[in-house]
Structure 1
């Protein structure tokens, strides 16, 4: 094993030893072979790190910052020749040769399901590290009127942009064959006394060649990459990306200010002619092209042996326009844990259907554990083929929405989470289990009868069948629902009453089908699937399922729920009544959760062993009984619990 050193006082002609370091990380890339490490020392490195080789099992290639060093990899360059035009307007003239083959200021964002591009480009201007907003034209730039409130595309809610004091600072670019002219309206700022950067590269760390396995990236700050919109039917660009590979470890990094996506677990490599075909052709639904993309993946070794099993842990991921972590097919069997994701999709410069802190398609056997996700447009969006997927011990707070589960058939497990945003669960799926959660937002369910999506053999990418979403076949056990005292209209959607009218067993479901025979598909479209709901607590007016056998309902109890997020620490305050402490509920397990109807599969661990839900956010449970919610220890009265 060889260790190569990179330092700002090095030279690429050196041998890379500690006393003779290299100057660029990409020179170390050329030298590193399986088992080698690249140690990068203090400083800012403005380069696209493009690995040429991967590691091997037990012999990763490691890229990491030196001990106690602050190492930054940026997709931007500094601009120091800036002309003042007056009235707060400044002008930068950039020779296009500085951009090489890619000029982000000439590249409009585009792709499938980008419904509201607003003319935005991949490029961004930064002043003292803060991204400025792009103006639609020179007139908008010159007026300098800040846009503090906008309408979020999917929910259509009017929301406020963060960092309101920066909304008035804008840029606008005009590009010709030879130069790019960027105008700034910085009002009272003397731009020549600030640090001005412009994004010039798509990536900070991304292999151009797919299939480079077993690479580790640790301890860096990476920022300011001009990534394009990343739908599942195209190359999913990320500031960091694994590009259709296996066994990467991305840990202890600070990842921010990607135009679109921070970390990409990626989609199957596609020829340019096969990317974004819905947006470019409009001849078939994007859904159809997504199906074809999945079949393309089978021709490129989409299985556990070759793809996925990545570890994404202990990172700060923030201030990205589309997603903190994204992936279609490429993230299978991965673990995403102990990350703090915030301010994702909250600049609202563009709108579409792929925006979330965590946006994963086909997260087969993916474990999403103990992450803090706050102040995002959407916390986690599991879209298609969430089978064997587990979300546990995560904290969601101050998002527009926490969870969206779209056209999945299960089994997927949501346990021991804190879900406290206005909309906690949006489920357009079936076959889910919600166990031991603290839920303080709306629960929405919906059938989807106009799209059939795949389900698989357990713990495998092998196809088993297709089905539409009938809704239901869900389990809610041992959850603590918290409503808003006196807010009847809000509380109608907090809790499990949305399942009223559902059968409570497979036996009664089948009996309802048999009563309507003869028939076939149409019978299943009109009869609700079972709902298995028991042992939940409902405080402050949250509403219970009408057929729930054992529960506690305290309509007027004010739980005084509050979560304080400071830096990367989250602390919960909650007021617990004596009745909840005394309501002992059984620990749930693989046997008690049963089998989902469509995929005909059980809720087991991804290694095939049985589950026993004894985990808590605070500590594990060591008995066959526990209190409701995600905590092993609760006391009567005010509790203060460190969540993250």
Structure 2
């Protein structure tokens, strides 16, 4: 449906009409005027405001669109510029700001805290200091700033009844001659109300948010977030420097936020969410695509229950939880609880504590064609799920991580992946977690995690540094189903695979080369891998149904699986598909462009 197009410009005025010739000055003013079908076009420049959209669209075809003007760079920041720094000594400077400067929300008095958060014995605040776009690290004590040695630049703040005083070490820079910004707003684009549906946000650079810890039991405020809504499209943005979370598709807030860190508390959270409209008709169905997300200390994208029925695709996510001054249980490039029928595909994820973390009720989920490398704990962590879920055609290349795959789930299918590194399989008999009816949020039952009931077909498994391959499955409690896998460089098969192809002497010498915006995978292949005659095309029929939920493996749209194309979209040999992500022709040294996807 067609509507009104409102224009916003730094030369505008909020008392004007919002036309191209008489633009508004702030995005927030346009948001107050926009109705379903309207478009808000923002022109070149930096806008320092928090957008709280009061109204959403009515349907996927009648939404409200916020967009940067084509070909124009538009930044929205949750920070303000500070220029009146006074030198203390050496490289240390200070500034004193009246508390009124913060207009009711002071990030330097606002602690990071909540369920499953571990502060490491010190305070952490949602404030942050930036020098020419790079953030400084918050010090634990005032003296750490004054007497600091080394290259890391630190800051420290105190707040009394009237003023906020900030000390910062800027190295060799004079902060009054450089761009110095500080967090002043909790978020950049986030509705205060839930149920603001069908919004599109595209083409912006959004930075600098004093975001809180966002556990699955509390409201998940982020630099940009949906706040328990339906049908958002967040696309082609640059999102960075959120104190905790970049994008949230998460839960609403209520009086039980951050009240109790237990499994039982999350069970009660789920029950309340079901009473607050957690269902296929009202929640989720978001699309997050083509964004670059970085420098978030909790998660690049988080979502408790609200990411269901969504598509997360073609994003670049990097440098997540790299300061590591605090810890907890929620840090990952993508961390979802209840990712029902959610597709996570074609993403590039690197330099994150964990790449992908799927926790509780990962069912009907598909994780496909993702490129993961240089993640320092694991590429994939699946926790207390009963399936069915599909993990196919992924490149998991974080060779120095503790566990390339950390599997505390059952009912997963792992198909045509390239796995480099350790695979750990762990039961969890202390937690009984939900499984659901097919393609629904309706709870069908609860069960503990014995482990097993997984399917592993046609993967390339390459050991690094005497790692185990798939041998940890030898003692799985439930049956496991394996065939067509190839084990290289010392990787060991599971005893339950009847005819594994082992070439423990062969090192494919995998490396990846980054050239500007492209990534190339170099590896050495052998035609012998093709000659494993037991290998089959993977289909829903082959995978059968899961032990606990008693459901078949189906795609996120309910259609049956037939994995007849590879990572690059090339047709598979249906009579004898090649192992791993690529349908190879020939042998020897190969160079494959793996990002961006063809």
Paired position in structure 2 for 1:115: 118
| Shift in Å, 1:600 | 0.4
Question: Are 2:446 and 1:444 equivalent residues in the alignment?
Answer: no
Secondary structure of 1:592's aligned partner: helix
Whether 1:96 and 2:99 are equivalent positions in the alignment is yes
1:126 aligns with 2:130: yes
TM-score normalised to the size of structure 2?
0.96
**Displacement after TM superposition at 1:568 (Å):** 4.3
Find the aligned partners of 2:275 and 2:103 in 1 and give their Cα distance. 34
1:583/1:627 contact within 8 Å kept:
no
| 1: CA distance, partners of 2:564 / 2:27 | 45
Partner of 2:571: 621
User: How far, CA to CA, are the matches of 1:245 and 1:234 in structure 2?
Assistant: 15
Choose from 234, 240, 253 the match for 1:256.
240
Shift, 1:501, TM fit:
4.3
- Runs (4+) of structure 1 moved beyond 3 Å? 565-568, 581-584
1:595 corresponds to which of 536, 545, 548: 545
Within-5 A mapping of 1:168-187: 169-187=153-171
Matched, 1:586 2:536: yes
Indicate if the aligned counterparts of 1:15 and 1:21 stay in contact, CA closer than 8 A: yes
**Partners of 1:203 and 1:188 in 2: CA distance:** 31
Q: Secondary structure at the match of 1:193?
A: coil
Aligned partner of 2:502 among 535, 553, 565? 553
Of 509, 512, 520, the match for 1:571: 520
1:59 is paired with a residue of what secondary structure?
coil
- Candidates 259, 270, 277, aligned match of 2:259: 277
The Cα shift of 1:446 comes to: 0.6
Q: 1:326 aligned to 302, 313, 327, which one?
A: 302
Cα distance change of structure 1 residues 254 and 634 upon mapping to structure 2, 3 Å threshold: farther
CA contact (8 A) 2:487 2:504 kept: yes
**48-57 or 544-553, which deviates more:** 544-553
Structure 1 equivalent of residue 205 of structure 2: 221
How many angstroms apart in 1 are the aligned matches of 2:422 and 2:137? 33
Post-superposition shift, 1:7?
0.6
- Structure 1 residue runs of 5 or longer lacking an equivalent are 147-164, 279-284, 503-527
* Alpha-carbon shift at residue 547 of structure 1 (Å): 3.1
- SS of the aligned residue for 1:294 comes to helix
In 2 relative to 1, CA 429–243 (structure 1 residues): closer, same or farther, beyond 3 Å?
same
**2:566·2:572 contact (CA, 8 Å) conserved in 1?**
no
Counterparts of 2:319 and 2:333, CA distance in 1: 8
> Which residue is equivalent to 2:478?
529
Aligned to 2:288: 312
| Equivalent residue, structure 2, for 1:383 | 359
Evaluate the alpha carbon distance shift between residue 36 and residue 30 of structure 1 in structure 2; reply closer, same or farther with a 3 A threshold.
Answer: same
The count of corresponding residues between Structure 1 and Structure 2 is 585
- Alignment match, 1:286: 262
Q: Is the 8 A contact 1:309 1:334 kept in 2?
A: yes
Deviation at 1:550, TM superposition (A): 2.4
Note if 1:420 corresponds to 2:424: no
**Which of 22, 37, 42 pairs up with 2:24?**
22
User: 2:61 matched to 1:85?
Assistant: no
2:332 aligned residue:
356
> Equivalent residue of 2:117, what SS?
coil
Partner Cα separation in structure 2 for residue 529 and residue 639 of structure 1: 38
Residue aligned with 1:104, SS: coil
Aligned to 1:533, the other structure's residue is in SS state strand
Quote the Cα distance in structure 2 between the aligned partners of 1:634 and 1:133: 50
SS at match of 2:328: coil
Q: Tell me the SS of whatever aligns to 1:591.
A: helix
TM-score by length of 1: 0.89
Residues 1:145 and 2:95 are matched in the alignment:
no
The match for 1:43 is 45
Is the Cα–Cα contact under 8 Å of residues 619 and 632 in structure 1 kept in the other structure?
no
Contact 2:573–2:583 (8 Å) recurs in 1: no
What is the aligned counterpart of 1:496 among 446, 470, 474? 470
Query: Which digits, 9 at most, give the CA deviation of each residue in 1:328-378, with x for residues without a partner?
Result: 011110000000100011111210011000000000100000001111100
Q: Residue 151 of structure 1 corresponds to which residue in structure 2? A: none
Distance 1:446 1:477, change over 3 A: same
Query: What's the offset of the Cα at 1:634?
Result: 4.5
Q: CA RMSD in A?
A: 1.2
Does 2:10 correspond to 1:2?
no
2-structure distance, mates of 1:531, 1:23? 61
Query: What is the CA deviation profile of residues 237-276 of structure 1, one whole-angstrom value per residue up to 9, with x for unaligned ones?
Result: 1100000000000000000000000000011x232x3110
- Alignment-derived partner of residue 374 in structure 2: 398
Q: Distance in 1 between matches of 2:565 and 2:88?
A: 61
Q: Following TM superposition, by how much is the alpha carbon of 1:392 offset from its aligned partner in structure 2, in angstroms?
A: 0.3
Q: Give 1:455's aligned residue.
A: 435
